[in-house]
Structure 1
Amino acid sequence: MTTTSSDLYPVTRLADVREATAAAGVGALLLTPGPDLRYVTGYDALALERLTCLVVPADGDPFMVVPRLELPAAEHSPAARLGVEFVPWDETADPYALVAGRVGPVATVGLADRMWAMQSLRFRAAMPGAGQVLAGSVLRGLRMRKSAGEIAALREAGAAIDAVHAQVPDLLKAGRTEREVGRDIAEAILAAGHATVDFVIVGSGPNGASPHHELSDRVIQAGDPVVVDIGGQMPSGYCSDSTRVYSVGEPPAGFAEYYEVLRRAQDAACAAVRPGVSCEAVDAAARDVIAEAGHGDHFIHRTGHGIGLETHEEPYIVSGNTEPLAPGFAFSVEPGIYLPGRHGARIEDIVVCTDTGHERLNNRPRDLVVA
């Protein structure tokens, strides 16, 4: 199934956002370029020093302030289907005063989570009587619960990154550097259909014990375990993220044993996913297996993060998060074991909570792959 703009950004979403804004007691949402704006309208606007801002009042019609030179792009974006009024402004105008005048006096405004600081400060000066909160507090309930179209887009992203992992064993050779392998993987991510490469982690040998190592000029050696964590954004805007572990020849003593513990922990966490189960319970399902095997101190991060238009978004699968899972929640399940100075391992799949359980969106084998 190929998702369309209408699947991902339905015309009803704007009404849902306005209703959520009113329910939260926020006078208006102010959404500048970034994932919040794209979620509501489908418009992947350029982030510029010139203000582009969708205004969603709790009571009143939404409108979008755009620099006049960006008006053609806005009019040809998915936002045009929503019937939003475009309000262009000229180079010598003050768009912040324009927004403030049209919104009128309100007690609170919600600012896009990724709004630039200079823009939030300009809004504070233009609307001194309005308190500022994060728009994410209004949008989180909508963005966490993915629609059928969004899940289809994430499924496409999962299949695309799986196709890249299928090529990795042929790229990992003793004598190559992590950076050389990473360059080939980045090319494969684009060739598999992604619009952008968001990250490429190739952690060989001791570098595998650093979860966010990325790339270096270290030469991969025979016997090295290699953690490969990769992801990108599809043309739909939805993201991929998956980790597999490879060994260049036979792995070092003890590695296969703790890798098997990790595999069981990841399976246990995925099996725990179903509606009503808390986010922290999924984290505990993985953590308990690892701790019982004596590696509790070697699992140093949360079990997962939400994914959608951002690689990392709510919900977070971590101790202390009592949020109950609901159908449509999409997130990573990625426990890890890291032995500093030696090596490490992580297995990551994107999982969607369904009506009765879960669906994995990554389907490459999870066994240790000897390249």
Structure 2
Amino acid sequence: MTTSTTPAPVPFTARDFEARRARVVAAAAEAGLGGVLVAPGPDLVWLTGYRPTAITERLTLLVLTSDREPALLVPTLERPDAEAAEGTSSLDILDWPDGADPYRVAGTLLPSEGEFGVSDSAWALHLLGLQDQAPKSRYRALTRSLPMLRAVKDANELGRLAAAGAAADRTYTEVIRLRFAGRRETEVAADLAALLREFGHEQVDFTVVGSGPNGANPHHEAGERVIRPGDAVVLDFGGLMYGYGSDTTRTVCVGVPTPQVQRVHDIVRGAQQAAFEAVRPGVACQEIDRVARAFIAEAGYGERFIHRTGHGIGVTTHEPPYMVEGEEQPLVPGMCFSIEPGVYLTGRFGVRIEDIVTVTDEGGRRFNNTDHALQIVE
């Protein structure tokens, strides 16, 4: 039973999924692709609402080309589930029974040659099977060929991301009321997971709790270390709510921080704010990274900022666009991504502050709004 006070969003309709598929076909043609092949994973969910109960060696494939109606190929035993999904009513659904050759069926849906975009989650087993049927075909990963496919969110998607962000904020507000000192990182991580679910998340993807020297590892898995007075503790957590992601980070201190912890936190806080203020339509993604990195470098900790400034978020918690040097894609209203600079001092502590942000016509809007100040916990 959830205690979320956020009303459930309006369900996506069959027309929403049809519009997405049409958008993909048009984008594929503009990119010089003969079509798009979508395997089970986030792209399939976004395009059809269908999430197979189990991803196995059995071929499931959505085929989108400009010369025929969209088709979904599924194992016979999974056809009822595919037909029940909210976005498949206008699809041509074909099935194949165990013992049959699914690639022969798939081959009838594809031109004999051409270049196709393929969802990143496709198995090599299936691509090789398709190549046997169409040896002149070639494949490009969707992240490279159509990187902005899901990047710009509509109003319904933005509402879901905002709800997920608000639930993550409530989680942080509650967890800092609990005791940290004398407890293991895994215990605090369990609190975070329970609170995310309590406030409406149907899926918890990660609960990073990096105390003391463990905080210097950006992707530290919560372990058995006992949190001590004086520790800086990095809390990075998120998951899916209404099918869309949350991801936020705050760094807290158990008791009074040392001058160095406070200084580093102030630097990271300033970098995060500067990067947020740089968000506006038309600015290249890499510029957000440059602003945050320049702020930290000027303070003398440039070599201690060891990851990109941000990543896109939507039906997965990491997806394009990425706020990183070399990403020249301009920001567009409706894009959603993290801004999460950090400083990591090996063997001592780390500090990271992260919000999910969306681009508006005027600039940026945060989906995480808890205080950025260094919170003192017990």
TM-score (norm 2): 0.94
Aligned pairs for 1:115-134 (under 5 A) are 115-134=122-141
Matched with 1:144 is 151
3-state SS of 1:244 partner: strand
Matched with 1:90 is 97
Please report how far the alpha carbon of residue 59 of structure 1 lies from its aligned counterpart in structure 2 after TM superposition. Answer: 1.4
Q: 1 CA distance for matches of 2:10 and 2:107?
A: 35
Please report how far the alpha carbon of residue 359 of structure 1 lies from its aligned counterpart in structure 2 after TM superposition. Answer: 0.4
- 1:48 partner amino acid: T
Q: 2 CA distance for matches of 1:319 and 1:102?
A: 40
Matched with 1:71 is 79
- 1:98-140 deviation digits (Å, cap 9, x = unpaired): 0112323131222111112222222222221101112334543
- 1:169 partner amino acid: I
Please report how far the alpha carbon of residue 58 of structure 1 lies from its aligned counterpart in structure 2 after TM superposition. Answer: 2.4
Q: 2 CA distance for matches of 1:11 and 1:4?
A: 17
Matched with 1:180 is 187
- 1:345 partner amino acid: V
Aligned length: 369
Task: Work out whether residues 180 and 227 of structure 2, in 8 Å CA contact, stay in contact via their aligned partners in 1.
Answer: yes
- 1:160-189 deviation digits (Å, cap 9, x = unpaired): 111111112133421100011111211111
Matched with 1:353 is 359
Matched, 1:27 2:34: yes
Structure 1: 5+ residue runs without aligned partners?
A: none
- 1:270-295 deviation digits (Å, cap 9, x = unpaired): 00000011111111111111111111
Matched with 2:46 is 39
2:227 to 187, 203, 220: 220
Please report how far the alpha carbon of residue 202 of structure 1 lies from its aligned counterpart in structure 2 after TM superposition. Answer: 0.2
3-state SS of 1:103 partner: coil
Task: Work out whether residues 17 and 40 of structure 1, in 8 Å CA contact, stay in contact via their aligned partners in 2.
Answer: no
Task: Work out whether residues 244 and 347 of structure 1, in 8 Å CA contact, stay in contact via their aligned partners in 2.
Answer: yes
1:154 to 153, 158, 161: 161
Q: Which 4+ runs in 1 deviate beyond 4 A?
A: none
Matched with 1:189 is 196
Q: 2 CA distance for matches of 1:97 and 1:67?
A: 13
What RMSD in Å do the two structures reach over aligned CA positions? 1.5
Task: Work out whether residues 63 and 109 of structure 2, in 8 Å CA contact, stay in contact via their aligned partners in 1.
Answer: no
- 1:11 partner amino acid: E
- 1:321 partner amino acid: E
Distance 1:172 1:244, change over 3 A: farther
Q: 2 CA distance for matches of 1:329 and 1:194?
A: 22
Structure 2: 5+ residue runs without aligned partners?
A: 1-6
Q: Percent of aligned pairs with the same residue?
A: 45
Please report how far the alpha carbon of residue 3 of structure 1 lies from its aligned counterpart in structure 2 after TM superposition. Answer: 2.2
